[in-house]
Structure 1
Amino acid sequence: MNACIFYHPEAYTTTGPRLMGRNAAGESFLRGFFAHSQTKEFWVKVQKTEHASHFAQKLQLYGRKETVKVVDRNSMAALKEIGVVYYPGPGIGKHSLHRAFFGHGLWSLCGITHTTSSAASMDALTALITEPVQPWDALICTSTAVKNNVERLLQAQVDYLNSRLGIARMVLPQLPIIPLGINTQDFVFTEQKKLEARKILRVTSESLVVLFMGRLSFHAKAHPLAMYQALEKAVQKSGKDVVLVECGWHANEYIARAYEEAARLVCPSVRVITLDGRKAEDRHAAWAGADIFCSLSDNIQETFGIVPIEAMAAGLPVVVSDWDGYRDTVRDGIDGFCIPTLMPGSGLGGDLAFRHALDIDTYDMYCGHTCSLVAVEVEAAAKAFISLFQSTELRRKMGDAGRDRAIKHYDWSVIIPQYEALWNRLNEIRAVQAINLPNLSRPWPARMDPFHAFGNYPTNTLTENTLLGLVDNDAETAFNRAIALRKLTMIDYARDILLTDDEVRSVLIAAADSPRRAVEIVAGVALQRQPFVFRNLIWLLKLGLLKIYP
């Protein structure tokens, strides 16, 4: 089953100056979709025409030659032909409001979670309770942990609305768990490539290279202190020469200096190399040159965590925190080690939420304050490193197990069919449940017909029986005046909603003989255009071409 992909270039590229997890996930998804989709034609929904051209170029780059069908804001009704629209984010509620103008039973919406801790994400998720999402819509949750988080947000919103308004019914989208995928072949490196990478890193064959891959942010990604402490303990215990490669990017010099300061104090026995994770060549050198991967994430902005499965695909044993989506992907003792984590219980973080809600703290500070109260067991991490440092065989065994798991469970060749099966299931649900869906006269209350919303503003309202006639003595004079007036900038700016020249002539001729009812004046135009022309009688009054008779 196919879907129309909502496409904005920024959401599907890793070449931007601020490489975020959603960018990596988006770029990887698009490659996987192009490579493994069974569709015979590709649909794309865009906000700008140039975005469609960009999508078509990428499609050709990946060797697909199928037709591309483009939908923009002026042609959204065409989405009923494809049936499903995929948005690379959680905010499908907003798009359900857009769909309201056409009918909720015409197509399904499918979104996906990335971070769910930001104010915008949490607002988008809680809004699903009041926005017109349907059972034939879906929000893909990338991990068991994030689905639980989404359900807690939704339940809290339901409890609030029940207390305030006594709501007794709610309609929710499907919440399937489908993990992110990767292109596992990207992480296969020959022995020669591995040797070349280690030369670039300037490490010897005896050195053990531990890799952290990801944004270098102690407050919004993974606080490095536990990793630094565990590595120092492991080096002291094992006597091994250990190099830590941190491949990512710092948001500013303040953060960069904070990393340098902490590493110098906490793990002086470990040589630390920093690579720019925004550069493909640096990422390749890091993956190819590493012996062990580590990510002790402790941050609530994480939901899935794609780098552990990339590490597994590279054949690296992993040392990860037992945290969020990591616990779905990494099998403790098989693919690597999952290090226990600890956080305070419910009821002890209200002040953090308060400070964030009132903008006392920025989102970054909210994440940073929260992760400051999440601990990763340093001793357990140190033991994991020691076990891996001391056994080449264990590193190989865990690396092989992880690579096998990545290929079988997380390659896009496995994940894309799950997306397509979901989209097919949404179509089936919609076909059954949308049949008797009522059409509301005000489908989006906050975006009502302005002539209804502001209906008490004017003296009178145009009706079918409003009597209208020409101001000029004949239709031709009136028409020539109309043509001259509509060239004015202050008139022409609204041309998209105004009459054609032929429609202007038709109306003026109909009103020429004597005052006539408005409904009679528009009777001579095509039936489907009559409401549009009827409305524009006001425009002709505005231009002084028609006048009202008592």
Structure 2
Amino acid sequence: MSSRKSSNSGASDVAIYFHNDGFDPKKNTLNGRRIAGESFLRGFIQHAGTDRLCGAVDNKIQGDGFREFVKSIGYDGEVVTRMLSRQGLAGDASVLNMPGPNLSEQAWRRHHLGGRAFSICGITHTTATKRVMQGIFDMRSAPVLEWDGIICTSNAVKASVDYQFDQADQFLEQRFGKLPARPQTPVIPLGIHSKDFARDENARKSWRERLNVGPDEIVVLTMSRLNSFGKFDPLPLFQALEIAAGNAAHKVHFLAVGPYSDNVTRRVFENGAQKLAPSVKYHHVDGTKEPMALGLWSAADIFTHPVDNIQETFGLAPVEAMAAGLPVVVSDWDGFKDTITSDVGARIGTFGPKSGAMRAEALRHYLGTDSYAQYMGQVSFQTYIDVAQMAGVFTQLINDPELRKKMGAAGRKRAQNIYDWKNVIPQYQEFWAELDAHRLHHLNENFIYKSQSAPVALDPSELFASYPTDAAEFVGRGFCAIATGDPKQSVLDMVRLREIPALKRASTKADNYAAVLEYIQNQKRTSYESLQRGVFDMDDTVLDKCLIWLLKYNLISIGKD
């Protein structure tokens, strides 16, 4: 592990929001978001240079999961966690880092602290879902502030996110007038651990023997979740490979590594390859179930990922392929425009629908008439890739081993110098520091921000104040005990009878109820003000909850003092 700097060095601490759904692909369905989350956390541990790791979690189970997970990926320093239902962040961190782009929920949580308590930073993965698109719109009415940020993993996705913010602002300004500043949207790429993809000649030999691939035969590899409606349409790829195979000096194999998302995808890949690329030998390896699946990178000669789907925003697989020393053939699409340069491979031209052509499809998706898969599929059907150009590039690479070697070496260097986490994590840290400096500047400038109840999560004591006869106001009241005997047992008997543990949530701890009851019993008769001055380590809110609970179950009575 790399050397760490002290957490007291003056650098802004970050609390990393953790839920295993966003970080642990082993315990959940394998997808790019979880792979990227796990990779980021490993990268942060290795390269952030901190001896304290702060986790923000929703509950104790997730807190325990955070400690277990970071230990499993090699962290041996101090770990502190804080539940988000409580005030403040773990380790008094100044930035809350979220594993997705929707910041509204945490902004509302921060709202009652005045908005300046900490910055919130998210990151884009898939941005085409209804939830994410609605979330970006909702951020313009939520208390998301200009010292918050959404890291965009590519220039293409930044353009898309900024466009949606533009459209939201145009609508909202026409309706309501001037809007506050937006969150920041910098471009910082995802990272990889480039050493994980080092070429392994033994693995190459072993896998090629297993796949029955000759030493001079060419393997074209793709590696991802295989989803014909959610990743890429393979049929144009098969057409291009068939053309290239007809001009190749050696037999061509196509190796698809990754789990089929469904039987439709399996049929599209397998039947499509058989029908459109009969000269190309098709292989499929699930990858998630195979020992040493990383060795499959070494088995290949060329990597391809001709994405035509809006689900993609960055694309880790081509960066991993570069780290593995493979020339890369991808579509000219989203993040590939940043990652793949002409010295490491080729980007094949793509052409989408003209402006305004799919408004009906967008509305059907939003209203739930069309599923997410239907929405993505329809956009994919209206996007085409230049098959002739792709076939020409494959032909050139298949027949020119020196070009493959040259591009592979350039790709490996590019992956190490730009996309290894050791180079990416400092960009995160620099951005977090910028957010914190921006926040602190506004603190010094007496930024006016009224702290109040969040209008999307109103206090039920206020929202439903018209329901009861009156509010329970205890100032000037006196209390007497009705329950006799052991106060703790009286409380526990009522807790069990009411089966409060089944709710898995109580207004406060049973020990607090018992402590208040015991004090009242000992005093015979006591005032609210006396209770406030009593021996309890609780604020007035907790005291009031205890009194209401004891009154509710007739363990005490109330009267004028």
User: Do the structures match in fold with TM over 0.5?
Assistant: yes
Q: Is 2:307 the partner of 1:294? A: no
Residues 379, 487 of structure 1: CA spacing in aligned structure 2 closer, same or farther, 3 A cutoff?
Answer: closer
Cα distance between partner residues in 1 of 2:487 and 2:325: 77
Structure 2: runs of 5+ lacking an equivalent: 1-10
Q: Tell me, what secondary structure is at the counterpart of 1:269? A: coil
Residue equivalent to 1:192: 202
- Tell me if the contact between 2:191 and 2:424 (Cα under 8 Å) persists in the aligned partners: yes
Taking the TM superposition and a 5 Å limit, the aligned residue runs for 1:395-434 are 395-434=404-443
Matched, 1:32 2:43: yes
Aligned match for 2:159, one of 127, 141, 148: 148
Q: Cα 1:501–1:61, aligned 2, differ >3 Å: closer, same or farther?
A: closer
* Count of residue correspondences: 543
CA RMSD of aligned residues (A): 2.6
Instruction: State the partner residue of 2:508.
Output: 496
Amino acid at match of 2:401: T
Residue 355 of structure 1, aligned match among 364, 371, 380: 364
Partner of 1:71: 82
Match of 1:329 in 2: 339
Question: Cα distance, 1:104 vs. partner?
Answer: 2.2
1:246 equivalenced with 2:256 (yes/no): yes
Match of 1:365 in 2: 374
Contact 2:24–2:37 (Cα < 8 Å) also in 1 = yes
**1:525–1:272 CA distance, 2 compared to 1 (3 A):** same
State whether structure 2 residue 122 is matched by structure 1 residue 111.
yes
Using the alignment, how far apart are the partners of 1:169 and 1:337 within structure 2? 43
Contact 2:169 2:179 in 1 (8 A): no
Q: 1:9 to 1:304 in 2, by over 3 A?
A: same
Please tell me whether the aligned partners of residues 90 and 113 of structure 1 are also in contact (alpha carbons under 8 angstroms).
Answer: yes
Look up the equivalent residue of 2:424 and give its one-letter code: I
Q: How far did residue 36 of structure 1 move?
A: 1.3
- In 2, distance between residues paired with 1:185 and 1:136? 35
Letter in 2 for 1:450: P
Distance 1:471 1:76, change over 3 A: closer
Q: Which residues of 2 match residues 243-322 of structure 1 at below 5 A?
A: 243-279=253-289, 281=291, 283-322=293-332
Is the 1:5–1:44 Cα contact (8 Å) retained in structure 2? yes
8 A Cα contact 2:199 2:325, kept in partner: no
Partner deviation per Cα, 1:209-249 (whole Å, 9 max, x = no partner): 10011111121101111211111111113343100001111
Give the Cα separation in 1 of the matches to 2:489 and 2:316.
65
Task: Give me the whole-angstrom Cα distance separating, in 2, the residues matched to 1:57 and 1:65.
Answer: 11
| 1:253-294 deviation line (CA, Å, top 9, x unaligned) | 232112211111111110010111323536324211100011
CA pair 48-199 structure 1, distance change in 2 beyond 3 A: farther
Q: Distance in 1 between matches of 2:228 and 2:212?
A: 26
Q: What residue number does 2:53 align with?
A: 42
CA-CA distance at 1:502 after TM superposition: 3.1
Q: 1:170 to 1:209 in 2, by over 3 A?
A: same
* TM-score in terms of structure 2 length: 0.90
**1:128-167 deviations in Å (ceiling 9; x for gaps):** 1111112222111000000111111112222222233x23
Q: CA deviation at 1:480?
A: 9.2
Deviation at 1:122, TM superposition (A): 1.1
CA distance in 1 between counterparts of 2:218 and 2:524 reads 90
> Match of 2:291, SS?
helix
**Residue range with higher mean Cα deviation, 534-543 or 175-184:** 534-543
Aligned to 2:6: none
Contact 1:311 1:318 in 2 (8 A): yes
TM-score of the pair, normalised by structure 1? 0.91
1:206 Cα shift? 1.6
Q: Deviations over 1:58-104 (max 9, x none)?
A: 43444432111121245442447121121111122211112223342
Q: CA deviation at 1:126?
A: 1.6
Q: 2:220 aligns with which of 192, 198, 210?
A: 210
Q: Of residues 167, 170, 173 in structure 1, which corresponds to 2:183?
A: 173
> What's the counterpart of residue 237 of structure 1?
247
Q: Does the Cα contact within 8 Å between 2:245 and 2:252 map onto a contact in 1?
A: yes
Report the 3-state secondary structure (helix = DSSP H, G, I; strand = E; otherwise coil) of the residue aligned with 2:508: helix
What pairs up with 1:500-519 in 2 under 5 angstroms? 500-507=513-520, 512=525, 518-519=528-529
Matches within 5 A, 1:515-530: 518-519=528-529, 522-524=532-534, 529-530=539-540
Q: 1:525 to 1:356 in 2, by over 3 A?
A: same
Contact 1:249–1:276 (Cα < 8 Å) also in 2: yes
8 A contact 1:470–1:478 mirrored in 2 = no
- Preserved CA contact (<8 Å) 1:17 1:278: no
CA distance in 2, matches of 1:389, 1:539: 77
1:339 has 2:351 as partner: no
Question: Comparing 293-302 with 259-268, which one deviates more in the overlay?
Answer: 259-268
Q: Any idea what SS the aligned residue of 1:445 has?
A: coil
- C-alpha separation between the residues in 1 aligned to 2:476 and 2:384? 74
In 1, Cα distance between the equivalents of 2:98 and 2:149?
A: 10
The residue number in structure 1 matching 2:34 is 23
Cα deviation for residue 495 of structure 1 reads 5.9
Task: Specify whether residues 286 and 519 from structure 1 end up closer, same or farther in structure 2 by C-alpha distance, changes over 3 A only.
Answer: same
Aligned to 2:131: 120
1 CA distance for matches of 2:244 and 2:491? 84
Matched-pair contact (CA < 8 Å) for 1:471–1:547: no
**Higher deviation after alignment, 169-178 or 412-421:** 169-178
Q: Structure 1 residues 479 and 331, CA, compared in 2 at 3 Å: closer, same or farther?
A: closer
Determine if contact 2:115/2:451 at 8 Å carries over to the other structure.
Answer: no
1:297 & 1:204 partners in 2: Cα distance?
Answer: 29
Q: Deviations over 1:488-528 (max 9, x none)?
A: 53285536266443323434666728xx6x55664546696
- Give the 3 Å change call, closer, same or farther, for CA 54–530 of structure 1 in structure 2: closer
Alpha-carbon contact 2:248-2:398 (below 8 Å) kept: yes
Contact 2:491-2:513 within 8 A present in 1 as well: no
Q: Which range moved further: 103-112 or 388-397?
A: 103-112
Maintained 8 Å contact 1:343/1:374: yes
How many percent of aligned residue pairs carry the same amino acid?
A: 33
Q: Contact conserved, 2:20 with 2:65, CA < 8 A, in 1?
A: yes
Shift of 1:410: 0.3
